Amino acid sequence: MLTTAGKYAIRAVIYLAIHSSPQRKVGAKTIADDLEIPQAFLAQLLRTLTVDKVISSSKGPGGGFYLDEGDRKNTLWQAILSIDGEHRFQECFLGLSKCDDAHPCPVHHMVSPFKKEMLFNFQERTIAQLIDEVKENGTVVSLKMSPEKEVL
C-alpha cells in the first residue's frame, strides 16, 4: 500500500504538524532521531516534500523544516502523492492493471469499500483536522517504531 519511504513521510509530516511552526523550525536530524528514521534517507524525503509544497523549509542557522498555516490545509494524500505517487495506493489488491467495479478482480468486492473509504479520509481531512482529532480522541500518539522509548 505504502512504501517505507511513504510511511516515513507521513510520520514526518504529522510530527511537523505537532512540533513545528514558522517560528519553531525543526532540523532533519532532530526529526530522524525522534522518529527513529535514518537521517540521510529522511532528508531526501523532506526535500521532496518541500519541492512539492507539502512542507516548508529554510536554510541556515535556526533553519529547518516546518508547516505554515497553508501547509496545514494540505492533506496526507498530498504527502502520499509526493513520495509514493498515486498508483502505489490505488492499484488493484492483486496487482491487475484493469480492476474496477465494472471489471473486478476476484477480491475486488472484499477490498474496494475499504480502499474508497480510506482514500476519502486521506483526501478530505486536512493535516490540521487530523491533529485536532488526535488530540480530541486523547489517543496516545507514538510516532516511534520501537515501543520502549516513546517520545510523544
Partner DNA sequence: TAATAAAATGATATTTTAATCATCTATGAA
Partner DNA sequence: TTCATAGATGATTAAAATATCATTTTATTA
Nearer to its own copies, 14 or 55 (CB): 14
Question: Based on C-alpha coordinates, what's the Rg of the chain?
Answer: 17
By CB under 8 A, residue 126 contacts its own copies: no
Nearer to DNA, 91 or 126 (CB): 91
Helices (H), ranges, 84-107: 86-90
Q: At its nearest, how many Å lie between its own copies and the CB of residue 97?
A: 5
User: In this structure, are strands 64-66 and 56-58 parallel, antiparallel, or unpaired?
Assistant: antiparallel
Please pick, from the candidates 21, 27, 72, 125, the single residue that binds DNA as defined by CB under 7 A: 27
Distance CA 121, CA 5 (A): 20
Helices (H), ranges, 59-107: 76-83, 86-90
By CB under 7 A, residue 51 contacts DNA: yes
Helices (H), ranges, the chain: 4-19, 28-35, 39-51, 76-83, 86-90, 108-124, 127-136
Nearer to its own copies, 23 or 140 (CB): 140
By CB under 7 A, residue 92 contacts DNA: no
Q: At its nearest, how many Å lie between DNA and the CB of residue 101?
A: 26
- The count of other CB atoms within 10 Å of the CB of residue 109 is 10
Where does this chain bind its own copies (CB under 8 A)?
1-2, 4, 7-8, 10-11, 14, 76, 93-99, 102-111, 113-115, 117-118, 121-122, 130, 133-134, 137, 139-147
